[in-house]
Amino acid sequence: MAAEFQGRTAVITGGASGVGRCLCELFARQGMNVVMADVEATALDQSAAALREQGLEVTPVQADVTSPESMAALEQASRDAYGNVHILCNNAGVGIKEAQRRMWTLTPNDWDWGFGVNVMGVANGIRAFVPNMLAHGEAGHVVNTSSGNGGLVSLPSTPIYAATKAAVTSISEVLHYQLQMEGAALQAHVLFPGPHVVNTNILSSMRNRPEHLRDDDEPVAYTSMADLVKASGLGNMPLTEPEEVAQTCLDGIAAGQFWILPPSEANDAQLRARSEGILARRNPPLPG
Ligand SMILES: NC(=O)c1ccc[n+]([C@@H]2O[C@H](COP(=O)([O-])OP(=O)(O)OC[C@H]3O[C@@H](n4cnc5c(N)ncnc54)[C@H](O)[C@@H]3O)[C@@H](O)[C@H]2O)c1
């Protein structure tokens, strides 16, 4: 158990499932007080109960990252439960029903939902928490979950998702600069879960899509990782487990890394090719 984490307080959005749930468990195992925030009440209560049964100190708070009011209430509830907040993980995110869809066929509701959760969720988290995290003056961290898809290199198959994650990388870089300009004891980080597709519930993100942002149209391409693996035709398609992502994140925070990016030769090659293409003013080739 690292001394730097013992007795500190972390708030994790999207804490009921996948990467967020694993972050909650790992942080609590370091002796941290953990606020698990999620919009999905039943899953949140079940996940929190499972962690409490293991003797871990977690408090579930239902919160919708798309709502500034809900995030302000989450910040207040976190301080009421544990006092100063030291780590904020803006992790909640959704995949949109867009796999292989052309960008011009996606609806205003698709764009609103994707940007509402993946981008405004991060902005709302920063707005709600950073002022008090700066004011208390103790060391702290803001970790925004991006994705290699869009956050580093855009895939042609997921237009909205890639655009939202490009925004998350950009928001994180600017936050990193501005916290330094403030001379703050607070550090920004950007997390890229991977190096492979992570074995979570993200392909069933529609479970959390609000009624007013739904369209009466075609079903989503895949709703589970098992479907995706089957559709890929690669029975042995590599997956990363979310526990591994949580450990990479914790290690990255402890090491003070801004880019929490797991090593991967394949991903590095894509990033290098993109950067070299831009510097050569070359038109991007279709990814293989
Ligand atoms: N799974 C992957 O391969 C992968 C890869 C790169 C990045 N990511 C990112 O990792 C993060 C976590 O996703 P995951 O893969 O664990 O998926 P997941 O679906 O298992 O978990 C996401 C959580 O976010 C919650 N959520 C959704 N909308 C919300 C809202 N409006 N307010 C609060 N919570 C909300 C969900 O209820 C869920 O508990 C996301 O930002 C995702 O984009 C995932």
User: Is the pTM higher than 0.75?
Assistant: yes
The per-residue pLDDT for 225 is: 79
Q: Domain tally for the chain? A: 1
Q: How many angstroms does the Cα of residue 118 sit away from the middle of ligand 1?
A: 9
Q: Is the CB of 172 under 6 A from ligand 1?
A: no
Q: What is the mean pLDDT of residues 174-188?
A: 98
Tell me if 189 is assigned to some domain: yes
Q: Is the CB of 20 under 6 A from ligand 1?
A: yes
Q: How many angstroms does the Cα of residue 280 sit away from the middle of ligand 1?
A: 36
Largest pairwise CA distance in the chain: 56
Q: What is the mean pLDDT of residues 188-203?
A: 97
Tell me if 230 is assigned to some domain: yes
Tell me if 1 is assigned to some domain: no
Query: What is the tens place of the pLDDT at every residue in 27-83?
Result: 999 999 999 999 999 999 999 999 999 999 999 999 999 999 999 999 999 999 999
Distances (CA, A) of 40 to 14, 45, 111, 194, 243: 9, 9, 21, 24, 21
User: Which residue has its alpha carbon closest to ligand 1 atom 17?
Assistant: 202
Rounded CA separation 11/37 (Å): 7
Query: Does 236 score more than 80 pLDDT?
Result: no
Say whether 161 is catalytic.
Answer: yes
Tell me if 3 is assigned to some domain: no
Query: What is the tens place of the pLDDT at every residue in 7-19?
Result: 999 999 999 999 9
Tell me if 287 is assigned to some domain: no
Rounded CA separation 232/211 (Å): 31
Q: Is the CB of 17 under 6 A from ligand 1?
A: yes
Q: How many angstroms does the Cα of residue 219 sit away from the middle of ligand 1?
A: 20
Q: Identify the bridge partners of residue 61 per DSSP, sorted by sequence position.
A: 37
Q: Is the CB of 92 under 6 A from ligand 1?
A: yes
Which atom of ligand 1 approaches the CA of 66 most closely? 31
Tell me if 2 is assigned to some domain: no
Rounded CA separation 285/288 (Å): 9
- Find all residues with CB under 8 Å of 60, minimum gap 6, and list them: 15, 16, 35, 36, 37, 38, 44, 45, 47, 48
Tell me if 184 is assigned to some domain: yes
Query: What is the tens place of the pLDDT at every residue in 103-142?
Result: 999 999 999 999 999 999 999 999 999 999 999 999 999 9
What is the band of 98 on the pLDDT scale with cuts at 50, 70, 90?
confident
Query: Does 1 score more than 60 pLDDT?
Result: no
Query: What is the tens place of the pLDDT at every residue in 237-285?
Result: 899 999 999 999 999 999 999 999 999 999 999 999 999 999 999 999 9
Q: Is the CB of 47 under 6 A from ligand 1?
A: no
Tell me if 4 is assigned to some domain: no
Expressed as residue numbers, the domain containing 74 is: 9-279
CATH, residue 59: 3.40.50.720
